[in-house]
Amino acid sequence: MRRERGLQSHVRAQNSAPRPHRKNDTFAPMSELSTKPYLMRAIYDWCVDSGYTPYLTVRVDAHTRVPMEYVKDGQIVLNVGPIAVERFKMGNELIEFSARFNDAGREISIPVGAVSAIYARENGQGLSFEVAAAEVEVPVRPAGEDGSDENPPEPPRPSGKPSLRRVK
């Protein structure tokens, strides 16, 4: 009798276990979430907790908002440490933050699919990801499209001896 009660409670527990999502008593297909943003957040948190500087390597495409003057070979490497960025948000689809480039504030927006790596600058530990060609298209501007030549002019370099001054 006692064994029978234990068996009955075991059967009841199995029957009351959570079931897959059902819609109108038929199984509804659940879209599978990508693990990429979760793994990226884990590496980011590990870097920050360990005192390392998290860096992102990003394939630039039409959906990526980054300063194009720092893009080389269709990629950009960004310091996303808490000291370097403000309003950092790493969602499942988009990474958004603001950062300063050459003393100018910029709003940055990166699709998670465009991230090819996240790693610690100090030791190179992290994760790299494949970025499918279909996911990312590098925008190519024909030479002279905006009326300028192929290579943009270099910004003027300061001349003379560098100097420091005390600001009170």
**The pair of three-digit structure tokens given for residue 165, joined into one six-digit string:** 């001054």
Q: What does the pLDDT read at residue 33?
A: 85
Say what the pLDDT of residue 155 is.
53
Task: Select from 118, 111, 115, 117 the least CA-distant residue to 93.
Answer: 111
pTM (global) more than 0.85: no
What integer pLDDT is reported at residue 27 of this predicted model? 55
Say what the pLDDT of residue 148 is: 44
What is the structure's pLDDT at 31? 73
pLDDT score, position 126: 94
- Rounded Cα–Cα distance for residues 28 and 98 (Å): 40
Domains and CATH numbers, the chain: 55-128 (2.30.30.220)
Q: What is the pLDDT of residue 133?
A: 62
- Counted residue by residue, the chain has a size of 168
Residues of the chain with pLDDT below 70 are 1-30, 133-168
